[in-house]
């Protein structure tokens, strides 16, 4: 029978080898955990508008599809509120894209406060926003009223008072 060399019978060498194996396994575990977190973060970013943090078109479509399946199953009401900002192009052209971006962020914040936690607010692009409202038959109308009221006060951005009015559509 072959015997291992004397070097491998030394306790110190065996302990160092064991520690190295443990260190490599811990490092691999940390790398896998970090990769999972990164994949989750990228997947989440892929469904969010990078400027406003709202849902993007893909997430909105996903949630709308889910709401329609629930409607078929439960008969629950589904409402979609669509809006775009009137004269938004004038803000970008006259005050610059930085002010336009801040305005979009402000609109997103007001819309978040106008809806319930179960509703979805999305920015498919540009100055367009969509809201998905589920629940009782009155919910879409109530949310649409709150959305309209959210624009009663002008936006104040970079020292400019911007009274914005949206065009709003509601489908139930």
Task: Please identify every stretch of the chain with a pLDDT value under 50, giving residue numbers as ranges.
Answer: none
pLDDT at position 9 is: 66
pLDDT at position 41 is: 67
What is the CA 88 to chain-centroid distance, rounded? 23
Buried-exposed string 95-108: b where 16+ CB fall within 10 A, e elsewhere: beeebbebbbebbb
User: In which region does residue 125 sit, left (phi positive, over 0), alpha (psi from -120 to 50) or beta (all else)?
Assistant: left
pLDDT at position 2 is: 59
Task: List residues with catalytic annotation.
Answer: 127
Q: What is the pTM of this model?
A: 0.75
pLDDT at position 115 is: 94
- What's the burial of 10, exposed, middle or buried (CB within 10 Å: 0-12/13-18/19+)? exposed
- What's the burial of 122, exposed, middle or buried (CB within 10 Å: 0-12/13-18/19+)? buried
Residues 6+ apart with CB under 8 A from 85: 103, 107, 127, 164, 165, 166
pLDDT at position 88 is: 95
pLDDT at position 107 is: 97
- What's the burial of 141, exposed, middle or buried (CB within 10 Å: 0-12/13-18/19+)? middle
pLDDT at position 134 is: 86
């Amino acid at each position: 029978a072959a015997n291992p060399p004397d070097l491998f019978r030394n306790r110190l060498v065996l302990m160092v080898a064991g520690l190295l194996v443990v260190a490599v396994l811990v490092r691999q575990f940390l790398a896998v955990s970090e990769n999972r977190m990164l994949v989750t973060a990228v997947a989440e970013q892929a469904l969010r508008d990078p400027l406003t943090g709202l849902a993007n078109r893909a997430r909105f479509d996903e949630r709308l599809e889910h709401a329609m399946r629930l409607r078929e199953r439960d008969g629950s009401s589904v409402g979609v509120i669509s809006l775009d900002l009137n004269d938004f192009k004038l803000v970008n052209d006259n005050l610059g894209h930085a002010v336009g971006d801040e305005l979009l962020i402000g609109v997103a914040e007001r819309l978040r406060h106008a809806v319930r936690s179960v509703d979805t607010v999305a920015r498919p692009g540009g100055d367009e926003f969509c809201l998905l409202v589920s629940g009782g038959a009155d919910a879409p109308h109530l949310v649409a009223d709150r959305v309209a009221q959210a624009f009663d006060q002008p936006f104040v951005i970079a020292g400019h008072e911007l009274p914005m009015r949206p065009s709003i559509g509601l489908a139930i």
